[in-house]
């Protein structure tokens, strides 16, 4: 499978190439201004919530998966809506993906189960490629939106499982509080782009 998301120009457009089995789709995403990547990564984090060391993911992201276990990610291709519907299956390692194009009429062009991990590897590769080409500030200048660095780190750590998390007690305003901590060294290593 190939799921490659990339910056298409400096006016906030992106591109997406999806290939699987006998299908090859190529989309030019209009005026996304970076929102699509935030929506996609934030939604995919919900699919790994119970499978990661980050014990309180639900407090980091907005809820994007509906009550039926589906994340709908919409992109705009020059006025036409393309829906990517990611749905939970009984096997938590597999998700169902439907791609529905709506040019003249709505048409489902892909409907199949895919491996969640394979999808995440592709998306993290795309994000790493974007970071290595443009940097975090450069991404913001091109997309007029922040790069979703926390989402990227959580998903990358789900795949590589190297960041250590712990809690410690800190005194603030004369009160003891339990604080969360992650390993900044490993986070920086992930950002430093070892592809």
Mean pLDDT of successive 10-residue stretches along the chain, which has 195 residues: 85 85 88 73 83 60 79 84 94 95 92 97 95 90 86 91 84 88 88 66
pLDDT of 13: 79
pTM of the complete model: 0.86
Cα atoms in the 13 Å half-sphere on the side-chain side of 148: 25
Range of the domain at 99: 2-191
pLDDT of 51: 62
**Ramachandran area for residue 173 (φ above 0: left; ψ -120 to 50: alpha; else beta):** left
pLDDT of 96: 97
pLDDT of 90: 93
Closest CA to 126 of 144, 147, 108: 147
* CA 103 – CA 47 distance, rounded (Å): 29
pLDDT of 91: 93
pLDDT of 71: 93
Q: How many domains does the chain have?
A: 1
């Amino acid at each position: 499978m190939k799921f490659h998301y990339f910056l298409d120009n400096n006016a906030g457009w992106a591109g997406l190439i999806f290939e699987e089995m006998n299908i090859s789709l190529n989309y030019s995403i209009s005026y996304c201004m970076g929102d699509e990547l935030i929506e996609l990564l934030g939604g995919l984090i919900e699919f790994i919530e119970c499978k990661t060391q980050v014990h309180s993911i639900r407090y980091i992201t907005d809820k994007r998966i509906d009550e039926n276990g589906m994340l709908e990610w919409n992109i705009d291709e020059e006025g036409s809506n393309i829906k990517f519907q990611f749905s939970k299956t009984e096997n938590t390692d597999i998700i169902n993906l439907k791609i529905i194009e709506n040019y003249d009429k709505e048409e489902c062009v892909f409907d199949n189960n895919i491996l969640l991990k394979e999808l995440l590897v592709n998306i993290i590769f795309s994000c790493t490629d974007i970071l290595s080409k443009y940097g975090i500030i450069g991404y913001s200048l091109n997309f007029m939106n922040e790069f979703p660095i926390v989402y990227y780190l959580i998903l990358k750590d789900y795949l590589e499982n190297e960041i250590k998390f712990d809690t410690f007690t800190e005194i603030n305003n004369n009160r003891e509080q339990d604080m969360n901590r992650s390993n900044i060294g490993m986070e920086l290593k992930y950002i430093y782009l070892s592809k």
